[in-house]
Structure 1
């Protein structure tokens, strides 16, 4: 137990100020002497032992009646290990511009508002901690722990299974665990918002697996400059939150993972840079099974790696020409509407010139053939009242599918495409029939056929004879009454009969397919 006689002059100032919550400022006021990065050189006049801070927070000096005890300290070098593991702390802790010699241990602790602002800390262990208030690390530099009993990789800020009733403020902070986990916060429950703005930098993976963030996550302009051991910059798998704002210059030099994340409002990457892993072996954005309302992917630059949206569901998709890389996984992706960013304006994507061709090209960026992206796009066009565009999409689907079929099926597919457009262009059959009718009429009209039986049958009519050949059902009496002594015309008659059967079969097959799909 510490005694008052053992305290140094700056420690006595802190001791005396604690019961009244008095602010103890050890800074000199000279910028060159108060740089926190050089705090290791501060002398005894600015040094406070971590044991003294722990003793005060744990009740070594009682509060004064009518005052709120609070430990408020600035400009100090804190020597030794601040060990508050398992502690029940009833007082707020406010440390500003301090330099920590060793890490801070809040493992399983329960504390009030915790502020470590503008300071340098070699690691914070807060696994399963409870903070009744705000956790403020703004403008601090937090470096990786030498070791952690709960993580197998180096970690700078450990908040796994922690609970914070207020918000967490990381604006302007620099959290570093290169090749490890900058933030390990799986299972974190953050009742307020998490802000990582104003120059926030993370070196190592920011890991928020299964976190509950009802107040949202705001990382506008954040820089995730070094991925974790698996090339991941930000992991929000199965997280639940109101808003994910990764915009305004947000930069990730690694994969952003949103697998199974559920966002009740919006997910925005407006003006963001998604560079993906440096080895180009992983996706820039992996968001399979994600659920959200507004999904804004109007990036500042096209992602360097792939985008995976398989099984994701959003109400509204916002994109631009810079949104999509060369490879996009879209199988199972469901959206209610699509808006495009063109010239600084956002409009519904339907009705734009070449909009269908651009959307089909977007789907074609998916490896292999999957029918669902085409059907989803066609469904959206139909809901928007653009049935013709929906049919164009479904025709593109059949043409893509044809590439995966055996050669015989591909030949039949080409025939269906050329004749009736797989049933989505039935007017093509009329064009073919008209062309064949004109050809037959002109060819047969230039010559005289021979009657099968002299003096019997109707007079020869080239147009009626041609129609009798190309229409395979029923008969008009001309085909059985006349024949051609010229082999060339007789072969033309056979070809017209064959084309008639093929066209009729193609029409029936194509229209049946169209009716089934529509």
Structure 2
């Protein structure tokens, strides 16, 4: 049954009704917000049920500009659950002594500018225009549900928090999961969002933002979980985090954007800081953005690009896709994050970074990234390579062939093997086995071979194919112990030449490419 309209209006309440009909601002005399919260002056008091009647049109038609009040204390609970307001509401430095309840309500717009609100419970609310919380408004909460609760809300305009203080010592600060924000989410200029919840201080899981998401000069903190939890968030344009302090904790980072879809760039400015007592900073697992802008010190304050780092900060980049990274940050810094600031080996991060560099025409960078991937695989996931012998061969393959990405290195190693074969021939010709005889000598006469013949002998025995026939004139004396040693050594060179030749051929013809 619908509650009857309140008829016993005070003089001040009648003035409120008349001002709303005319579209005028009704402002009580100057008073500080702290004093307003305690005053019993009837010229500042408006009962919540009278305001509800006014918004529902029970006092006649209202001006399209809506109800505009300043420095008013609203007593009792403003209950708009399921209601459809005839006009929007703008409150300037007003105070509520009980929560505002607007669950499944419909409003043209809602502006809370300055003042104090115990909490705003507005799940599945529909606001045709904007929801603005600005100019020093303080919204507090004392329950786990959140100081502001906008689950499934539909806001046709933007959600703006500017110089707002949204706090909840017992749970979420701003809960907007599955909300639809048509024009954007703007957290600007001195806004503080502070909560104490495992689900984040700012909770945006599954939310859809038609415009940008901007955090500019704000602080978001949570002592029990992430500062921002925004898994599967969809942002139609860019997500810009500038001059912002984000403090949180949790197993998957102080800022969680897992599976988020960002239509424009993802930018963290140089003056943005993410901190966590357990050094777990940022998760972008399975997220997507067009361009990534990230300052040097956001994750690794040392600014390192090397394969070594003692900084403990962690990020999650597995499955994160992007079209480009900030040139000022550079692919080497991103590679450093993959190698030293992720919790476990993941191939997808390396593959994506290599693909971005290859698309940009930087094939040499792409090869360096893929080589680093294989090094990281052996370092952090050796069991994936098999047993000790497989790991040894993997290491040798990396040293000699760059895992198939450095064919020139293989060719150089092949050249060194051939030089070693020639050197062994010379050495054998200089090694005396008995008076007048050497480990390598002329076959017919047993006399010394010339230096050219000895080098040719080493190459002839070292090369696995195309013998020159030189050994019919000059060869190793395999009857002697020294000759047998040199024979075995050259067999080893021959095996190395076979292997290196195979690797070189495979590298040049792209037959060997490790991508897993």
Q: TM-score, normalised by structure 2?
A: 0.80
1:107 aligns with 2:71: no
Supply the distance in 2 between the matched residues of 1:473 and 1:491 (Cα, whole angstroms). Answer: 18
Does the 8 Å contact 1:312/1:334 carry over to 2?
A: yes
Supply the distance in 2 between the matched residues of 1:51 and 1:440 (Cα, whole angstroms). Answer: 99
SS in 2 for 1:322: coil
Does the 8 Å contact 2:138/2:166 carry over to 1?
A: yes
Supply the distance in 2 between the matched residues of 1:128 and 1:96 (Cα, whole angstroms). Answer: 26
CA, structure 1 residues 268+178, in 2 after alignment: closer, same or farther (shift >3 Å)? Answer: farther
Match of 1:501 among 498, 503, 514: 498
CA, structure 1 residues 218+479, in 2 after alignment: closer, same or farther (shift >3 Å)? Answer: farther
CA, structure 1 residues 310+223, in 2 after alignment: closer, same or farther (shift >3 Å)? Answer: same
CA, structure 1 residues 479+376, in 2 after alignment: closer, same or farther (shift >3 Å)? Answer: farther
Deviation at 1:160, TM superposition (A): 1.1
Q: Where does residue 161 of structure 2 map in the other structure?
A: 196
Match of 1:233 among 193, 196, 201: 201
Q: Which structure 2 residues correspond to residues 163-174 of structure 1 after superposition, within 5 A?
A: 163-172=126-135, 173-174=137-138
Match of 1:409 among 379, 390, 393: 390
Q: Deviation digits for residues 20-76 of structure 1, max 9, x if unmatched?
A: 45554432x4x5xx545443233345434444444555555546xxxxx45xxxxxx
Q: Deviation digits for residues 203-231 of structure 1, max 9, x if unmatched?
A: 34311111111200000235444324315
Deviation at 1:240, TM superposition (A): 1.4
CA, structure 1 residues 497+284, in 2 after alignment: closer, same or farther (shift >3 Å)? Answer: same
Supply the distance in 2 between the matched residues of 1:23 and 1:301 (Cα, whole angstroms). Answer: 40
Match of 2:468 among 467, 476, 483: 476
Q: Deviation digits for residues 87-144 of structure 1, max 9, x if unmatched?
A: xxx993323222233221110111121122311222111111111x22101213211x
SS in 2 for 1:482: strand
Q: Where does residue 415 of structure 2 map in the other structure?
A: 434
Does the 8 Å contact 2:284/2:318 carry over to 1?
A: yes
1:207 aligns with 2:194: no
Q: Where does residue 263 of structure 1 map in the other structure?
A: 235
Q: Which structure 2 residues correspond to residues 82-93 of structure 1 after superposition, within 5 A?
A: 92-93=66-67
1:419 aligns with 2:427: no
Deviation at 1:318, TM superposition (A): 0.8
CA, structure 1 residues 137+16, in 2 after alignment: closer, same or farther (shift >3 Å)? Answer: closer
Deviation at 1:17, TM superposition (A): 5.1
CA, structure 1 residues 340+197, in 2 after alignment: closer, same or farther (shift >3 Å)? Answer: farther
Does the 8 Å contact 1:422/1:514 carry over to 2?
A: no
Match of 1:124 among 100, 105, 117: 100
Match of 1:42 among 40, 43, 63: 40
Does the 8 Å contact 2:109/2:128 carry over to 1?
A: yes
Deviation at 1:389, TM superposition (A): 0.7
Supply the distance in 2 between the matched residues of 1:262 and 1:119 (Cα, whole angstroms). Answer: 34
Supply the distance in 2 between the matched residues of 1:102 and 1:142 (Cα, whole angstroms). Answer: 12
Does the 8 Å contact 1:37/1:120 carry over to 2?
A: no
Supply the distance in 2 between the matched residues of 1:498 and 1:273 (Cα, whole angstroms). Answer: 60
SS in 2 for 1:128: coil
Supply the distance in 1 between the matched residues of 2:422 and 2:49 (Cα, whole angstroms). Answer: 107
Does the 8 Å contact 1:36/1:119 carry over to 2?
A: no
Does the 8 Å contact 1:243/1:267 carry over to 2?
A: no
* Unaligned runs of at least 5 residues, structure 1: 64-68, 71-89, 144-155, 343-348, 350-354
Alignment coverage as a number of residue pairs: 460
Q: Which structure 2 residues correspond to residues 14-29 of structure 1 after superposition, within 5 A?
A: 14=16, 19-21=21-23, 23-27=25-29, 29=30
SS in 2 for 1:246: strand
Does the 8 Å contact 1:196/1:222 carry over to 2?
A: no
Q: Where does residue 146 of structure 1 map in the other structure?
A: none
1:184 aligns with 2:149: yes
Deviation at 1:391, TM superposition (A): 0.5
SS in 2 for 1:306: strand
Q: Where does residue 114 of structure 2 map in the other structure?
A: 139
Q: Deviation digits for residues 462-500 of structure 1, max 9, x if unmatched?
A: 333222333323433346772234244333323222322
Q: Where does residue 283 of structure 2 map in the other structure?
A: 308
Does the 8 Å contact 1:437/1:463 carry over to 2?
A: no
Q: TM-score, normalised by structure 1?
A: 0.80
Q: Where does residue 66 of structure 1 map in the other structure?
A: none
Deviation at 1:387, TM superposition (A): 0.7
CA, structure 1 residues 163+11, in 2 after alignment: closer, same or farther (shift >3 Å)? Answer: closer
Q: Deviation digits for residues 157-182 of structure 1, max 9, x if unmatched?
A: 11211111111111132211156311
Q: Deviation digits for residues 378-406 of structure 1, max 9, x if unmatched?
A: 11111111111110001111111123233
Does the 8 Å contact 2:417/2:497 carry over to 1?
A: no
Deviation at 1:190, TM superposition (A): 0.8
Does the 8 Å contact 1:450/1:483 carry over to 2?
A: yes
* Unaligned runs of at least 5 residues, structure 2: 301-312, 430-437
Deviation at 1:14, TM superposition (A): 4.1
Q: Where does residue 373 of structure 1 map in the other structure?
A: 349
Match of 1:161 among 124, 140, 153: 124
Supply the distance in 1 between the matched residues of 2:401 and 2:371 (Cα, whole angstroms). Answer: 10
Supply the distance in 1 between the matched residues of 2:365 and 2:495 (Cα, whole angstroms). Answer: 33
Q: Where does residue 386 of structure 1 map in the other structure?
A: 362
Does the 8 Å contact 2:83/2:105 carry over to 1?
A: yes
Does the 8 Å contact 1:214/1:241 carry over to 2?
A: yes
SS in 2 for 1:334: coil
